[in-house]
A and B are shown apart, each in its own frame.
Chain A
Amino acid sequence: MTKRTDESEQSSFAWASDDRGEPVGAEPTDPASEPAPADWIGAGWPPDLTRRLRVLLHTLPLDGLRRSDAMRDAELRHYDSLALALRVLDVVIDRLGLEAEADREVITRALRPVLSAMDAAAGVDPSPDRHERMLDKLLGGLRNDGDARRPFREEYTAVDSEGVAQRHALEFRLLFDAFHPSGRTVLRPSAEACNVYLRLLDLDVEDAQAAAEAVVESQLARGRFDEAVHSARQARIQSVRFRDKILQLLRDTRRDVDRVDWRVEAPRMLNESLAHLERRVVVERGILGAADERLAIMPDEEADSRRAVAQVRDLTRDCLLRHTELHEQLIGARNVFLDAQARQAFAPKPSRPLPDLADDVLEPLLRMPIASAGRLLERGFPLFVGPRLPVLAALEGLVSWMLQPRRPQPRQEVEVEAVDAADLDAELRRYPPEVRTAATEILDAADGDTRLSDLLVKARASGASDPVVEVIALVALQGFATEERDTARVAAEPLAGERLEDPLLYGDDLLVSTVGRAG
């Protein structure tokens, strides 16, 4: 909002200086050089050019990565970081919303074949160590580690409607580490990166919900229905948040109009929200249409997929409903502001700015007499540590609490015992060699990521005996339980909510990855 006022102030300033400047100008006014303002400027800088320019700027960090290829250590110079970066975005976007969202390990697994291919093209032997080093540099570049992981900042010049060229700066992220509900840290693409990658250039690139819905569309089109359900759920959460934000604004206005900046911020937010809603409704109708079409052509045997698509449809319909309702409320909301404006037409307070914690909070506190600083900190302190649990004295409870066995701590990290390669082999050696060979063949035939359940079904279909199935499951479990992944033959991770059912085995399904694990 401040930017807007700045711009209008600046442009009026530009006019003012023009007026003053003319008589002073070195050359006498030449009527031929006098432009017919509006048309000429319009032709000189169409407004959508600025938008296109901003879209283009989002690719500059990738260009920077590519330029740095030549400056890297000699042994890393043959890797094309632009290609690798796109593959990273591909993996990360593909996994978005999935329980097994992409973390460093997933990236390593997915990129290893690409890195090896580049090694081969350059006549170099692949080396996991070197691959790790390259990935460090690549992810560091995409996350902007070099600038303390701040957003990338690209400056550009645009000409405003008054014909004045102005410098602007655009800040955005491409890839960032994010907290995953499971407690892990995962790599996530920014909304901008999703939109650029999915080539949805005509959409508002900063729009998180547009990104979420674009992902739903793309996953539906790719036939990744389970993932589409997760993404649709994300889109719905965005829509709930969006709604809460608007309703909060309205509540605040009614309660205390000073808390809301209705001169600039609130009307802008309302206008943008209306435009946002109108765009969302169009996209959501599109997704609903696509889901209905899918359902119409999907054979009944694919019950799971049908269920997933139906869920996407329901979630999207919920978003649509919410947005339609909110649209009505927003139109009514204008009156809330008009009323507030009528009532409070005197010197409104500016909206609360965000503080620089060091300059605006810490420094003034340090300058204060200790008595005052102490009093303020006394009040502010509890907010920084969060709620503490008051202790209620109850003797009976205390005694039984002291006598009860130690409760297991909530899981922060799982302790994993390193497994020796020799131990892994010992477990397998109980099976006759021909059984082990048969199991190995089936595992080797699997390409990339496969569900354990699919592997077992395939094994059964090819007439494998129970012991062979057991060995496959055992190898997968070794991969799952082993911290030192290099000692196991495969890597495995849990697929939440997926069940594995085999005459022999029952339990949570695993995602088994055999890439780069040549036995």
Chain B
Amino acid sequence: MKIILKNARVINPIQKLDSKLDLLIEDGVIQKIGEISEKVVKDSQIFDFENKICVPGLFDMHVHLREPGREDEETIDTGSNSAAAGGFTGVACMPNTSPDIDSAEIVKFIKEKSKKNLVDVFPVAAATLNRKGEALSPMAELYEAGAIAFSDDGSVIKNAGILRRVLEYSKMFDVPVIEHCEDETLSDGAMNEGLVSTILGMPSIPNVAEDLIVARDILMAEFTDARIHIAHISTKGAVELIRQAKKRGVKVTAEVTPHHFTLTDDSLKLFDTNYKMSPPLRTTSDIQAILEGLKDGTIDCIASDHAPHAIEEKEMEFVFAPNGIVGLETTLGISISELVHKKILTLNQLIEKLSINPRKILNLPIPEIKEGSEVNLTIIDTDLIWTVDVTKLKSKSKNSPFDKRLLTGKSISVINKRQMYFEDNYIRI
């Protein structure tokens, strides 16, 4: 099938491309780019994307798809639908499933299951067996099966000696080790440690719990000359540590979630468990530092940390409720509203953080928008005003603190692997 995308502003920072162009797509390949008259091309379906932008497909490098193990919360399919609805053509899924992604079989299972879907799914495999931090996972085998990075996400690799071996071993494949930075001896709490936790009498987690491990991991990456990626940073201390490390050439990269640059611990006052996450929501001064870090490139990318949880697990006494929120369908809207419209980042910078940089970190090819390239695109309306409604999420789970929030900016369509997601439907192209 032939489709023509008309009148979109086509942007690709790596090609230094930014102009109003039409795209003719046939059999999943960009056949022609420029001004295309529908009269010339017969039997084509036209999509008028006037006032929309067309960018290389967005990529979320931190999601939890829950399959295998907790298919009641999310599956590879529902998670992929959620990603497509949120504007992503690719995701990296974390290994804290049940069983963990620590065997080649599970990596292959995920690859196989997601093959038919529009959204590419790249498994991040466990860095240690059972994510226990005690012995190396079969990293070579996992890499060969298709794992693109290693992480014990959900837990930190406690033991620096084990971390050293993980980093050294991962160097053979030039893939990053993704760390969930939290010193567990300091993080036995349910929210950020600050004035709000004092008022609420809530067991709390100080910033230093994160800063300590970020500092340790930077030193370990420097020592081993390996690549470390700091997941979901939440503290101003972490931003500064990474900034300094990058200056002296340490191979460190970092991501931040939309909730960590928009919400503070003040939101906890109603004891709504949709505000409970790990790392916890911090304070306005942390947000300020994170925004600075996004601006100056200290923070490479934005990732959702999409963490679906069953209703009965979140509807619980605060201290007992699990951490995390769903984010695939709100990440782009929040990022455009809070970063682009508030002039923290330019549109180009945002595309780098949501599409280019995560792929660079994971050694994945960056989609090009040129004749002959396979199509991998996201079409965005940066001015569309919409209200988040959790009941309408494609994700199986509804645990979001952004319910009822008004956002500006939304994905209109994604195209990848000969499929197009448009107006809630998949179209074969």
- Asked if chains A and B come from one complex, the reply is no
B-to-A contact residues, CB < 8 Å: none
